[in-house]
A and B are shown apart, each in its own frame.
Chain A
Amino acid sequence: MCGYLLIIFFGIIVGGISGIIPGLHTNTLASILGWNFDGSDISLLIIAIFGSQVVFSFVPAIFFGIPDEKSVVSVLPGHRMATRGRGYEALLICLLAGVLACIVSLLSLPIAIWSYPLVYSISERFIPLLLGSVLFLLIAKEKDMVSRFLCLVVTLTAGLLGFVVLNSGNPDPLFPLFCGLFAVSGIVFATMGNEKRFSQQRDMSTINFDFAPEIIFGVILGWLADLIPGISSPAQMALLGGLIFWREGEKEDARKYLALISAISVSQGVFAFASLEAIGKARVGALAIASEISESNILWMVGIFCFSFAVASIALLGLSKIIRRLETGNIKRTYPVILGYLILAVLLVSGVDGLIILLASTLVGSLPNILKTSRLALMACLIIPTILYYM
């Protein structure tokens, strides 16, 4: 038993490191482990890494505005809160929402296992309609006809970019795509804009818990994310939720939106085990690899995922003193470092092709700033290729 505990705690440490270092995705680590090793111990390690990585990936998303596929939408409100010294509060919201969503999802697991086979067979035909409706709502939400037209331009451009990138044959196209769309383009405009102070993060001894509905809604969306083929990314579901809960620039909505995203990310991780068991579909890459190399069923490892998530949350809370002291003075000084890191990471993860994707997606990611439309429209980079795939 001690051996298994050692594996799990080692996985939590590796997951923590990979979560803090953008680009070092769980799927990448799982692929490396899956290629070189075999057996249930490695599956256990991958699941522990997966659970811990979900927790720690919120740190770069909130404090440095660098997304991965789970936290990409949280970059928008989370990083904004961090630049106003409320990053620690954003992190606590993500942790609290994640822990509560994990508990609710875990308790709902038998229902998910029972319901997936029933709903799965009829859901596939409605995917294009559902995703098309999301895009329609996103555009219709703009205030006037001109804004709607501009939002449509951004949506179609992002969709075209996503279609080309996802069919480029690059082994890891999402990292450069998201970095360009959200991080690099954001950095470019922030550099040109007014001086911003990345003030010392405000201490928060308590959190105002007013986002219970968002957590419940997030769990339902997480359940849907594992059910509907093509919506494998929590970001796509968060976009749907964002249309209901989030209006850019509003403080309270940003807090609730963060809770929603966190709940979706975590519950999708939990329900992925149920979808694998019930319909044989693993919507999470790391889970698919862990399942392939395991000598047994891995439904029981959902408990390890939650254990790993819980321990990682406690560890991150323990590190809160360091996070509270995060003070970089003028945020512009950190931009060259972040930019340099991103370029290097993209080169290492996705090669020279990745740099081209990064450049193209940076240009497309700049469009919302130039045309003054919602950056959420950039999520069409995943939604439009998914619609086309199912049509």
Chain B
Amino acid sequence: MEISQRKLMILSIVLAVLGVAVAYLYFDYGYEKVEIGTIQSLPEGRRVYFAGFVKEIVIAERTKVVLCDAAVNCINVYFRADIYNPTFISKGEVVKVEGRVLEYMGRKRVEAERIWS
């Protein structure tokens, strides 16, 4: 079977489109899809306060946890490395979070600046 340069270029374009589609599909991979309405409506940079229990610690040493309230409405909370202490919270523990709403790739999330039990 012969493949021309034109076909190779078309295959590359198909790959580029596939890449964009996969980036879109996996953008929230591993995250809870449930988002709290108040977070959505808050403007970027606004400080927020949220209390709830930690449902999932996705990456032990890093930044991502999913925080839920009693009604199991969940948000994604990002801890900056300089404030994050791995021994401070554990899965299922009730914690309080204070932070800012930030917009990342067009989606609002909370960056935690302070957490406590």
Contacts and interface: CB of A to CB of B under 8 A. Distances in A.
A295 to B, nearest CB: 6
A304 B105 CA distance: 14
Interface stretch (A94-102, A214-222, A327-335, A356-364): A94-102
With a 10 A CB-CB cut-off, give which of B1, B25, B26, B59 has the most chain A CB atoms: B26
Contact of A314 (B4, B9, B27, B28): B9
B26 A310 contact: no
A210 B3 CA distance: 10
Interface in B24-40: 24-31
A299 B63 contact: no
Nearest to B26: A300
Given A4-B105, A206-B3, A209-B3, A299 B15 contact: no
Given A206-B2, A206-B3, A302 B8 contact: no
A209 to B, nearest CB: 5
A299 B30 contact: yes
Contact of A106 (B19, B62, B104): B19
A305 B26 CA distance: 13
B58 interface: yes
Contacts of B42: none
B52 to A, nearest CB: 20
B16 A311 contact: yes
Given A310-B13, A313-B12, A297 B31 contact: yes
A103 B14 contact: yes
B30 A306 contact: no
B23 interface: yes
Given A103-B18, A207-B2, A297 B64 contact: yes
A310 B14 CA distance: 8
A120 interface: no
Chain A contact residues: helix, strand, loop or mixed: helix
Interface residues of A, number: 42
Chain B contact residues: helix, strand, loop or mixed: mixed
B104 A295 contact: yes
With a 10 A CB-CB cut-off, give which of A40, A280, A296, A320 has the most chain B CB atoms: A296
B5 interface: yes
B20 interface: yes
A309 interface: yes
A301 B15 CA distance: 14
A96 B29 contact: no
A102 B1 contact: no
A307 interface: yes
A307 B19 contact: yes
B11 A208 contact: no
A204 to B, nearest CB: 8
Interface in A197-244: 204-210
B26 A303 contact: yes
A95 B14 CA distance: 14
Contacts of B28: 300
Nearest to A280: B59
B64 to A, nearest CB: 7
A92 interface: yes
Given A207-B2, A295-B63, A40 B105 contact: yes
Given A95-B8, A317-B9, A306 B16 contact: yes
B30 A99 contact: no
Interface string A313-343: 1100100100000000000000000000000
A309 B29 contact: no
A188 B11 CA distance: 40
B63 A307 contact: no
Nearest to A210: B1
A109 interface: yes
B23 A103 contact: no
Contact of B19 (A1, A204, A297, A306): A306
Given A100-B11, A297-B64, A314-B13, A305 B19 contact: yes
Interface of B: 1-5, 8-9, 11-16, 18-31, 58-60, 62-64, 78, 104-106, 109, 111
9 contacts: A106-B22, A207-B3, A207-B8, A295-B63, A296-B104, A300-B24, A300-B29, A303-B24, A307-B16
Given A206-B3, A296-B78, A307-B19, 19 more contacts: A92-B5, A95-B12, A103-B11, A103-B14, A106-B19, A205-B4, A209-B2, A292-B62, A296-B64, A300-B28, A303-B18, A303-B19, A303-B20, A303-B22, A303-B23, A305-B19, A306-B19, A307-B15, A310-B19
